[in-house]
Protein backbone atom coordinates (compact mmCIF):
# COMPACT_ATOMS: atom_id res chain seq x y z
CA UNK A 1 0.00 0.00 0.00
CA UNK A 2 2.78 2.46 1.02
CA UNK A 3 0.82 5.65 0.45
CA UNK A 4 1.52 8.94 2.23
CA UNK A 5 -1.44 9.56 4.58
CA UNK A 6 -1.24 13.32 3.99
CA UNK A 7 -1.61 12.79 0.24
CA UNK A 8 -4.53 10.42 0.81
CA UNK A 9 -6.13 12.92 3.20
CA UNK A 10 -5.81 15.70 0.61
CA UNK A 11 -7.50 13.49 -1.99
CA UNK A 12 -10.36 12.61 0.34
CA UNK A 13 -10.67 16.21 1.54
CA UNK A 14 -10.91 17.48 -2.05
CA UNK A 15 -13.64 14.94 -2.74
CA UNK A 16 -15.44 16.03 0.45
CA UNK A 17 -15.26 19.70 -0.56
CA UNK A 18 -16.93 18.75 -3.85
CA UNK A 19 -19.55 16.41 -2.33
CA UNK A 20 -20.47 17.70 1.13
CA UNK A 21 -23.29 20.26 1.06
CA UNK A 22 -22.08 22.05 4.22
CA UNK A 23 -18.85 22.39 6.17
CA UNK A 24 -16.61 19.73 4.62
CA UNK A 25 -13.90 21.17 6.89
CA UNK A 26 -15.90 20.45 10.07
CA UNK A 27 -14.13 18.12 12.48
CA UNK A 28 -14.72 16.92 16.00
CA UNK A 29 -11.89 17.69 18.42
CA UNK A 30 -11.65 15.51 21.52
CA UNK A 31 -9.58 16.54 24.52
CA UNK A 32 -9.27 15.36 28.12
CA UNK A 33 -9.27 17.62 31.17
CA UNK A 34 -6.93 17.35 34.13
CA UNK A 35 -9.74 15.48 35.92
CA UNK A 36 -9.78 12.80 33.20
CA UNK A 37 -13.14 13.94 31.84
CA UNK A 38 -13.22 13.74 28.03
CA UNK A 39 -14.81 16.53 26.00
CA UNK A 40 -15.57 16.80 22.30
CA UNK A 41 -16.76 19.65 20.11
CA UNK A 42 -16.93 20.62 16.45
CA UNK A 43 -14.42 23.09 14.99
CA UNK A 44 -13.26 23.91 11.47
CA UNK A 45 -10.03 22.73 9.90
CA UNK A 46 -8.13 25.85 8.83
CA UNK A 47 -4.97 24.31 7.48
CA UNK A 48 -3.17 21.02 6.99
CA UNK A 49 0.17 19.88 5.67
CA UNK A 50 2.90 17.42 6.59
CA UNK A 51 3.26 19.20 9.98
CA UNK A 52 -0.34 18.56 11.01
CA UNK A 53 -3.92 19.78 11.17
CA UNK A 54 -4.71 23.32 12.37
CA UNK A 55 -7.73 24.87 14.08
CA UNK A 56 -8.16 28.20 15.90
CA UNK A 57 -9.81 29.09 19.18
CA UNK A 58 -9.87 31.30 22.23
CA UNK A 59 -6.84 30.40 24.35
CA UNK A 60 -8.94 30.82 27.50
CA UNK A 61 -11.61 28.33 26.38
CA UNK A 62 -12.28 24.94 27.92
CA UNK A 63 -10.52 23.18 25.04
CA UNK A 64 -7.43 25.38 25.51
CA UNK A 65 -7.43 24.67 29.26
CA UNK A 66 -7.64 20.95 28.54
CA UNK A 67 -4.86 21.14 25.95
CA UNK A 68 -2.69 22.95 28.51
CA UNK A 69 -3.30 20.14 31.00
CA UNK A 70 -2.68 17.40 28.45
CA UNK A 71 -1.42 18.56 25.05
CA UNK A 72 -2.90 15.72 23.01
CA UNK A 73 -6.06 15.56 20.92
CA UNK A 74 -8.07 13.35 18.62
CA UNK A 75 -9.80 14.65 15.49
CA UNK A 76 -12.65 13.11 13.53
CA UNK A 77 -13.87 14.06 10.08
CA UNK A 78 -17.16 12.44 9.04
CA UNK A 79 -18.23 12.94 5.44
CA UNK A 80 -21.63 11.29 5.38
CA UNK A 81 -22.29 11.91 1.67
CA UNK A 82 -19.10 9.98 0.85
CA UNK A 83 -19.62 7.38 3.59
CA UNK A 84 -16.13 8.08 4.90
CA UNK A 85 -14.40 9.19 8.05
CA UNK A 86 -10.85 10.04 9.04
CA UNK A 87 -9.53 9.75 12.60
CA UNK A 88 -6.34 11.55 13.65
CA UNK A 89 -4.53 11.34 17.00
CA UNK A 90 -1.43 13.03 18.30
CA UNK A 91 0.24 15.73 20.35
CA UNK A 92 -0.82 19.36 20.00
CA UNK A 93 1.33 22.46 19.63
CA UNK A 94 0.47 26.14 19.30
CA UNK A 95 0.94 27.70 15.89
CA UNK A 96 3.52 30.46 15.55
CA UNK A 97 2.26 34.01 16.16
CA UNK A 98 2.90 34.93 12.52
CA UNK A 99 0.73 32.02 11.37
CA UNK A 100 -2.04 33.00 13.80
CA UNK A 101 -1.85 36.62 12.66
CA UNK A 102 -2.00 35.63 8.99
CA UNK A 103 -5.07 33.46 9.48
CA UNK A 104 -6.82 36.02 11.70
CA UNK A 105 -6.40 38.63 8.95
CA UNK A 106 -8.42 36.41 6.57
CA UNK A 107 -11.45 36.25 8.87
CA UNK A 108 -14.45 38.46 8.31
CA UNK A 109 -14.43 41.66 10.33
CA UNK A 110 -17.45 40.49 12.35
CA UNK A 111 -15.63 37.25 13.24
CA UNK A 112 -12.56 39.23 14.24
CA UNK A 113 -14.65 41.47 16.50
CA UNK A 114 -16.40 38.41 17.94
CA UNK A 115 -13.04 36.96 18.97
CA UNK A 116 -12.42 40.10 21.06
CA UNK A 117 -15.94 40.18 22.54
CA UNK A 118 -16.31 36.53 23.57
CA UNK A 119 -15.15 34.98 26.83
CA UNK A 120 -15.54 31.60 25.16
CA UNK A 121 -16.75 28.74 27.36
CA UNK A 122 -17.39 31.02 30.37
CA UNK A 123 -20.88 31.50 31.80
CA UNK A 124 -22.95 34.25 30.14
CA UNK A 125 -25.78 35.86 32.08
CA UNK A 126 -27.67 37.00 28.98
CA UNK A 127 -27.30 37.33 25.24
CA UNK A 128 -27.75 41.09 25.65
CA UNK A 129 -24.49 41.28 27.62
CA UNK A 130 -22.57 39.58 24.82
CA UNK A 131 -24.17 41.82 22.18
CA UNK A 132 -23.26 44.91 24.23
CA UNK A 133 -19.65 43.70 24.47
CA UNK A 134 -19.62 43.13 20.71
CA UNK A 135 -20.95 46.66 20.10
CA UNK A 136 -18.26 48.10 22.41
CA UNK A 137 -15.51 46.21 20.56
CA UNK A 138 -16.91 47.33 17.21
CA UNK A 139 -16.79 50.95 18.40
CA UNK A 140 -13.25 50.49 19.79
CA UNK A 141 -11.91 49.34 16.41
CA UNK A 142 -14.03 51.64 14.21
CA UNK A 143 -12.00 52.69 11.19
CA UNK A 144 -9.06 50.46 12.16
CA UNK A 145 -7.81 47.01 11.27
CA UNK A 146 -8.69 44.50 13.96
CA UNK A 147 -5.55 42.87 15.38
CA UNK A 148 -5.52 39.29 16.60
CA UNK A 149 -6.38 39.25 20.31
CA UNK A 150 -3.59 37.98 22.56
CA UNK A 151 -6.01 35.35 23.90
CA UNK A 152 -6.76 33.87 20.46
CA UNK A 153 -4.61 31.62 18.28
CA UNK A 154 -4.33 28.21 16.71
CA UNK A 155 -3.33 24.69 17.54
CA UNK A 156 -1.74 22.10 15.32
CA UNK A 157 -2.47 18.42 15.93
CA UNK A 158 0.70 16.59 14.93
CA UNK A 159 -0.53 13.19 13.77
CA UNK A 160 0.91 10.00 15.16
CA UNK A 161 -2.03 7.89 13.95
CA UNK A 162 -4.32 8.49 10.98
CA UNK A 163 -7.13 6.06 10.18
CA UNK A 164 -9.13 6.17 6.95
CA UNK A 165 -12.53 4.46 7.19
CA UNK A 166 -14.61 3.69 4.11
CA UNK A 167 -18.13 2.31 4.42
CA UNK A 168 -18.76 -0.96 2.59
CA UNK A 169 -21.90 -3.04 2.16
CA UNK A 170 -22.91 -5.47 4.91
CA UNK A 171 -20.70 -3.53 7.35
CA UNK A 172 -17.59 -5.01 5.72
CA UNK A 173 -15.90 -1.63 5.98
CA UNK A 174 -12.35 -0.86 4.96
CA UNK A 175 -10.05 0.60 7.62
CA UNK A 176 -6.53 1.74 6.74
CA UNK A 177 -4.30 2.76 9.64
CA UNK A 178 -1.11 4.80 9.32
CA UNK A 179 1.19 4.98 12.37
CA UNK A 180 4.09 7.46 12.45
CA UNK A 181 7.48 5.86 12.86
CA UNK A 182 11.01 7.21 12.71
CA UNK A 183 11.48 8.34 9.13
CA UNK A 184 7.99 7.65 7.83
CA UNK A 185 4.69 5.86 8.24
CA UNK A 186 3.76 2.22 8.79
CA UNK A 187 0.52 1.27 7.10
CA UNK A 188 -1.83 -1.61 7.75
CA UNK A 189 -5.44 -2.67 7.75
CA UNK A 190 -7.81 -3.09 10.68
CA UNK A 191 -10.77 -5.41 10.92
CA UNK A 192 -14.03 -3.47 10.54
| Catalytic pick among 72, 83, 109, 171 | 171
| CATH 3.60.150.10 corresponds to the domain 5-108+150-190 | no
Q: Where are the domains of the chain?
A: 5-108+150-190
181 is catalytic: no
pLDDT, one tens digit per residue, over 38-61 is: 999 999 999 999 999 999 999 999
> How confident is the model at residue 171, as a pLDDT?
87
pTM assigned to the model = 0.93
pLDDT, one tens digit per residue, over 79-133 is: 999 999 999 999 999 999 999 999 999 999 999 999 999 998 889 999 999 999 9
Under 8 Å between Cβ of 39 and 62: yes
Q: E strands of 34-183, at which residues? A: 38-44, 47-49, 52-58, 72-79, 84-94, 152-157, 161-166, 174-181
Amino acid sequence: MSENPHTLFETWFAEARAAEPNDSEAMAVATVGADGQPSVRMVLLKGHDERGFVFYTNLESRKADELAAGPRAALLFHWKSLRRQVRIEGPVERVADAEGDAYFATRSRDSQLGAWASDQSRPLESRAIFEARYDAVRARFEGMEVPRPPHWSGYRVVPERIEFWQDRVHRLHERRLFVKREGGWDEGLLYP
